[in-house]
């Protein structure tokens, strides 16, 4: 049962729920404006008042950010020991779904792919699902916030990324940040042969789709350049955190929430990871300090997926995925999509290099490379 009110906001309905918290459509009783209200989860007991207010003050700094490609944060506060964020309510499509529809269909979306800021029928494959408003409680995430590896092995094959999530595809919302300890011993399996791209991979190269993809990537670069210039790192960049509105304007959201969960909420033991596995840079897996180049790695994984129809690294367990990310090279993108864009393929491969120094160093550099 959602709360009736959170701070000065009257809760209207639940939009989505995940490991990072629950998002509500809410009405600001002061201005009568609707907002997306994200009540952040600590994954355990409520924070004490002092800690919660400190976190709220930190998130209030996000309210100073203003960029056309970044979702606006209005304010932060504390409700029952849990920090919350009030953000602008965006009607739009996730990046992947945006690429899968024609321009003529942008104003007639399907319910499964359309919705406000928080409704993201997600395709990010963080190896588990989280609750949507109309679904039963998800058993993939344990009460203590850790991931159930049994659910991990049941995910859909990665090739399905190229099937464009057609009718009947029950995507799950990977809004949440999942927690796994990378220090657990895991068998070192031999590298598995790469799976071939899906038969529909040729559809990835439709001129309309490629134009939309390139334009969206340029806008994401502008958003990343802005937040990196303010000393922020997104830490959990993935297609479901990239929305496209009716005006085809890209909006980046949820930056900083992974840091909140890992560093401040106290729900992780030393050495545990928080984030979406598939898009983690090697340095994030290793628990090393992150900077903007870690976001650029995630952007490279996104670009690789959207060009080839499959992720650069494909595994059945988190540990095997991390081993591949740290030790192996991805299949050449143009071997998976023979008629893919060579320039975009070169950009993707450089972005996902193991060492940060070997990647593009800034989002501005990526923008220039995409513009060539």
Q: Which pLDDT band, with edges at 50, 70 and 90, does 29 fall under?
A: very high
Q: Which residues are catalytic?
A: 236
What pLDDT, on the 0 to 100 scale, is given for residue 296? 98
Summarize pLDDT for 57-100 with one digit per residue, the tens.
767 778 888 999 999 999 888 888 788 889 999 888 999 999 98
What pLDDT, on the 0 to 100 scale, is given for residue 101? 81
Query: Could you tell me which residues come within 8 angstroms of residue 297 by beta carbon, excluding any fewer than 6 positions away?
Result: 279, 281, 282, 351, 352, 356, 359
Domain map (residue ranges) of the chain: 5-87, 94-371
- Residue of higher predicted confidence among 45 and 123: 45
- Residue of higher predicted confidence among 349 and 115: 349
The CATH superfamily label for domain 94-371 reads Transferase(Phosphotransferase) domain 1 (1.10.510.10)
Query: Could you tell me which residues come within 8 angstroms of residue 112 by beta carbon, excluding any fewer than 6 positions away?
Result: 121, 165, 169, 171
- Residue of higher predicted confidence among 161 and 208: 208
Rg of the chain on CA atoms, in Å: 19
Task: Give the number of C-alpha atoms closer than 13 A to the C-alpha of residue 39, restricted to the C-beta side.
Answer: 26
Q: Give, in words, the CATH class of 5-87.
A: alpha beta
Answer whether 70's CB lies under 8 Å from 96's CB. no
Domain pair 5-87 / 94-371, same fold: no
What pLDDT, on the 0 to 100 scale, is given for residue 42? 60
Verdict on whether the full-model pTM lies above 0.85:
no
Q: What rounded mean pLDDT belongs to the chain?
A: 74
Summarize pLDDT for 231-284 with one digit per residue, the tens.
889 988 999 899 999 899 999 988 766 555 554 433 333 444 556 789 999 999
């Amino acid at each position: 049962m959602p709360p009736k009110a959170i701070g000065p906001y009257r809760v209207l309905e639940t939009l989505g729920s995940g490991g990072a918290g629950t998002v509500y459509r809410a009405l600001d009783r002061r201005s009568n404006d609707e907002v997306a209200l994200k009540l952040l989860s600590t994954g355990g007991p409520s924070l004490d008042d002092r800690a919660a207010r400190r976190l709220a003050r930190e998130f209030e700094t996000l309210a100073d950010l203003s960029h056309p490609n970044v979702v606006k944060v209005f304010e932060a506060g504390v409700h029952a020991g849990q920090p919350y964020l009030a953000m602008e309510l965006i009607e739009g499509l996730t990046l992947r779904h945006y690429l899968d529809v024609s321009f003529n269909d942008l104003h007639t979306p399907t319910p499964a792919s359309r919705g406000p800021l928080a409704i993201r029928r997600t395709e990010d494959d963080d190896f588990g699902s989280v609750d949507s408003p109309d679904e039963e409680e998800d058993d993939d995430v344990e009460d203590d916030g850790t991931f159930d590896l049994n659910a991990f092995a049941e995910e859909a094959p990665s090739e399905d990324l190229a099937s464009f999530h057609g009718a009947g595809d029950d995507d799950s919302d990977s809004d949440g940040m999942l927690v796994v300890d990378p220090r657990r011993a895991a068998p070192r399996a031999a590298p598995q042969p790469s799976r071939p791209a899906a038969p529909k991979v040729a559809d990835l190269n439709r001129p309309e789709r490629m134009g939309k993809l390139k334009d969206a990537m340029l806008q994401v670069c502008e958003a990343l350049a802005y937040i990196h210039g303010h000393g922020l790192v997104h830490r959990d960049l993935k297609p479901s955190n990239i929305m496209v509105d009716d005006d085809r304007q890209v909006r980046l959201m949820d930056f900083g929430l992974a840091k909140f969960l890992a560093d401040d909420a106290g729900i992780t033991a030393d050495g545990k990871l928080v984030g979406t596995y598939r898009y983690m840079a090697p340095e994030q897996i290793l628990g090393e300090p992150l900077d903007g180049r870690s976001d650029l790695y995630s952007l490279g994984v996104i670009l690789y997926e959207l060009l080839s129809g499959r992720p650069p690294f494909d595994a059945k367990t988190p540990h095997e995925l991390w081993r591949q990310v740290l030790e192996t090279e991805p299949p050449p993108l143009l071997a998976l999509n023979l008629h893919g864009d060579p320039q975009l393929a070169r950009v993707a491969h450089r972005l996902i290099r193991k060492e940060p120094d070997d990647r593009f160093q800034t989002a501005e550099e990526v923008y220039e490379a995409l513009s060539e």
